[in-house]
Structure 1
Amino acid sequence: MEKSCLRPVDRHGKLLCPVPDTYTLKEAELKLGSSLGLCLGKAPTPSQLFLFFALGSDVQPGTEMEIVVEETVSVSDCLKLMLDKAGLSGETWHLRRMDWCYEAGEPLCEEGATLKELMVSSGDTLLVMEGKLPPLGFLKVPVWWYQAQEPSRHWKSHQDPTSCALSPAGDWGAACMQGAPGDLPAEASLLYLGDIEISEDATLADLKCQAMTLPPLSERAVPSPAFLRAWTVEGRRPGRLLRSNRQQLRDCKLGRRAGVCLEPLPAEEHLGPQDVLLRTRLRIPGVRAYAPAEDLVWDAARGWTASSLRQKVASFYSLPVEKIEIAKYFPEKFEWLPISSWNQQVTKRKKKKKQDSLQGAPYYLKDGDIVGVKNLLADADADFSTAMDDIGKENQKQLALGKKKSREALRVQSSEASSAPMPSPPRGPEAGLSIHVRSFR
């Protein structure tokens, strides 16, 4: 018993962190019906940490290794212990935390800091990653290539907006397949180019120049950094637009895990601080689909109002402002939210019209958002959705239904376990009993 410990078992059958011998059941968060495993090895002392670790970022649940270390051990010493246990050696390794979606998170940059100082706790999972961390004051930035969809050569979005006609060589089907929002996952457009190590004091233009020296990008013949648009990479898709080439990377707040994706441009681009970059898509009447996306730069210096945006979109497509409808697309929900010019706000005294900022609820408009445009001269249908949206919503519905059934099955199992009769304690051997009754006559 001295060399064994109790370890809780989760609903997937994975052994969790051992329970210290001094813990009460309440402190160990054990409830009626909890599963425990009796395992070899002593439980960690109050000054020790039980950690999971794995090699690389492609980790499958249940394949992690385990180690017990003192909470006062440094990051570099902890890394050496993990490398020894994994049978590896060398100096080109570093540690990262694992985030909630089982991917590589923030690196442990302060190699001399203790695990306790960095608030590493028992049960945490650390990833042993290949590659030396850059020195203080430098960033190691993964660079990606973002190729937005090319406009169809058969699509004439500006020449005949009232009829939305295609040239004789084209057809609606080709335009629909190339331009339908959500037809391909966003991460499919990102191509990894390589990592660059650069000072935090360098500018965004310096980062673009250094990225242009990477072998995959040097073959693409980009004329200058001004022909590249830079985005942060968030969730494997373009996130925040980095607009000023003169801005220092320190002020861009990239962090130590953010990548940058570069998008090629047909001409130089110099966006102002109030310019908003939107991807507009003109709806094709009668087929529930959209033409390929086109970049629209909207100057929001006079305010993020719906009427200002409608004026810009109408001018962009050479349409009367009263003959268009616009809507923002939410790809994660497969939904379109119409953008109206006015919002009725009712007060106790009187009704008044208030123009709300599109930066706030419910639109949260930002750089890179998709805005659908409907030409009312050719399409009077109030619906903005596409056939791809129907498929996406149905898939989400089936996924939610599957999760609900799993939760119900677990709830039934837990209920059956809690309602099962508790086994009675074993009875001792029976013994004879003699009773002596005195006479009180």
Structure 2
Amino acid sequence: MDFAPSARAAELTEAVRAFIETEIDPIEAAYHREVAAADNPWQPLPVIAELQSKARAQGLWNLFLPAEHGDAYADRFGTVGGKGLTNTDYAPIAELTGRSFLAPHVFNCNAPDTGNMEVLLRYGNEDQQREWLEPLLEAKIRSAFCMTEPGAASSDATNMQATAAVDGDEVVINGRKWWSTGVGHPDCKILIFMGLSDPEADRHSQHSMVLVPRDAPGVNVERMLTTMGIEDPPHGHGEVSFTDVRVPLSNVIAGPGRAFEIAQGRLGPGRVHHCMRLIGLAEAALELACQRSLDRTAFGKPLANLGGNRERIADARIAINQARLLVLHAAWLLDTQGPLGAYSAVSEIKVAVPNMAQQVIDMAIQLHGGGGLSEDFPLAAAWTNARALRLADGPDEVHRGVVARLELMKYGAKR
């Protein structure tokens, strides 16, 4: 197996690194302070659009687009289309963007928009792509993904209670979703809703994904949720109710009953993206930890020379490097064997990487003392992000179950 990036990807990675260092890093801390002090933190600051314009002008735009689609869209839309990278090629770029809370948005590579764009790219028809994918690729609109429900154990999607019932040439949508990331953004215009459409079908053909305009009658954002006390504007995570929402049958993606198929196609690459960004976040935390351990003195010594901190720093370096190789292996399997060939590997990284990042960031917080818990450093928000990703896209327990099942099947265990 070869994890070396192509020449094209290596060039793009260095361009992304330079852009982050020269354009994003110098303004990020001030950006977060301004958002925190704003009367309306949900209104994006103009600097985001300015940075997006610069990134797009340099061709650093929609880099997440997969190899089989990116080039075609580049030909069709110019810089809107991305560069058509493999998962392995995109991985180091995702790692770099993970060091910054702003970078994914600046390069139009932020979740959940990337996953929603991939859904429309792989499964949407031409009309759906024209109406929703193209403006998402241009960052003219934002989107949200509505799957998890407050009233059901959403780690098992077959528990889903929200419905998307076909009624003639319409779909009638009812139910309540939460942790719908992105729904707080004022430019959020489209929701991808997953709901029960045929309870009599087989277990994995009962659900459909439907495009629901944010302003459709009956759609209501009941509240914005905090994550460990953090609101995360201007995107945020909302609880959304759907009451007799009617949309055309043509808004169903790929056809009724195909939601599980779409979800698996969406989540594989998305989990690689999440994990590589977390590795970047862990790298940034380790850098802060090392700087703090050398600059700060207690009991007459640098912190690095106290309390086993050198060993903790060494363990963090080892853990990050192990996790990176694990994710690159999963990306390579996706590229060479497809989702089924990478099934176990993707679940493995989804367990290993958030846990690793949480531990590394926690170590960095400890070295910063009380300051590590404050807004003076990005560590508390970073820890929250890593902790949340042990639940998002499936909790640790579900992914461990997948890995164990596939492992035991090698020895004759039944599914």
- TM-score scaled by length of structure 2: 0.24
- TM-score scaled by length of structure 1: 0.23
- Where is the strand percentage greater, Structure 1 or Structure 2? 1
- Where is the helix percentage greater, Structure 1 or Structure 2? 2
Which has more radius of gyration? 1
